[in-house]
Amino acid sequence: MASHTTWQPPEPDQRGFTIERHILEGQRSAKGATGELTALLQQITLCTKIIASRVNMAGLADHLGLTGETNVQGEEVQKLDELANATLIRNLSRGGKVCALGSEEESEPVLPPAGYPTGKYVVLFDPLDGSSNIDVNVSIGTIFSIHERVSSGTTGGTVQDLLQAGVKQVAAGYVIYGSSTMLVYTTGQGVHGFTLDPTVGDFFLSHVDIRIPTRGKIYSVNEGNHASWAPGVQKWVAHLKTPSADKQRPYSARYVGSLVADFHRTLLKGGVFAYPADDKNANGKLRLMYEASPLAMIAEQAGGAATTGKQRILDIQPNELHQRVPLYIGSKEDVEEAVRFLEG
Ligand code: FDP
């Protein structure tokens, strides 16, 4: 991880701290911290609170949108994923802390508009992951990844600022819009989870220093793709389903189809999530920069692992913004076992 992290782990008595207080405590105890990362994380937090409130009203807004194309406040009704993307871009590009943004919804880097200040960070994000689940009220999420700019200059950044290996991330996190809304993030000093209290409108520290179990009992993969997997993947999944004398197997299957939801469960309960390469998707389906890399930083910070099957996710040097990778992520021993099967 980047050595210049500005965050320190909280004391146990920080449980119940607001996320703002938690971030500020981290800054307070970090030598040389300028407060810029703190401010950027606060901007991201605000965006996700806005998105959470819209996600909660999605059914109602869709209903109103069908009749008059405006909601009760007279606002134009947008699809949620467009709204999430626009919320992040509008707030972060004008917030003075970034020189460039990368969004899963945008083909090119987004730079701060003319006349707005730039900062020393870049943020990459998947504004609304699992969006095919919106209509059926299943958990969805926002994923973000923060790097320091590498190009010189004080104006807008370049694509090279965005194309950095995951190991150089300064911070990463996600928000899950589920039965409750939770924000989970790391700045390279452990993983911490906050739950949104909708009556107060703030995130409170609820999960201190999350550690992923070394081995779990759950596997998570779209088994509808079984016929188009490589033989090693097929054998691995068959192995997980085969009863063992020590009762460790068979594993239970869980697959939401929202990466954030499947990852969040894996982080808390252990086990493994995989989206392997298959005949349709030679490099898998998931995006390196917006999905695999930030979640890999979180998994490793929590004691887990993340790999393509051949390479540690965080070591991959990206060569394009929307690059895809196969992903095996979760409990260390489960991920290592998957790799042994893939290697044959
Ligand atoms: P979605 O297409 O609904 O946005 O990468 C996007 C993603 O969801 C992940 O959140 C999810 O894990 C995966 O795709 C689901 O893909 P399958 O439907 O092919 O299983």
> Which strands, in side-by-side order, build the sheet including 327-330?
252-253, 218-220, 272-275, 327-330, 305-307
- Which atom of ligand 1 has the smallest separation from the CA of 128? 4
Report CA-CA distances (Å) from 13 to 10, 44, 189, 206, 207.
Answer: 8, 25, 17, 11, 12
- pLDDT tens sequence across 176-193: 999 999 999 999 989 999
Strands 272-275 and 218-220: parallel
- Which atom of ligand 1 has the smallest separation from the CA of 262? 12
Report CA-CA distances (Å) from 250 to 216, 236, 275.
Answer: 11, 12, 20
222 lines ligand 1 (CB under 6 A): yes
Strand ranges inside the chain, DSSP E: 98-103, 121-129, 140-148, 171-177, 181-186, 191-197, 202-207, 218-220, 252-253, 272-275, 286-287, 305-307, 324-325, 327-330
278 lines ligand 1 (CB under 6 A): no
276 lines ligand 1 (CB under 6 A): no
CA of 334 from ligand 1 middle (Å) equals 22
CA of 257 from ligand 1 middle (Å) equals 5
- pLDDT tens sequence across 311-339: 999 999 999 999 999 999 999 999 999 99
Least-confidence region, from 8-12, 18-22, 105-109, 146-150: 8-12
* pTM of the predicted model as reported, rounded to 2 decimal places: 0.92
Residue appearing with tokens 């209903």: 63
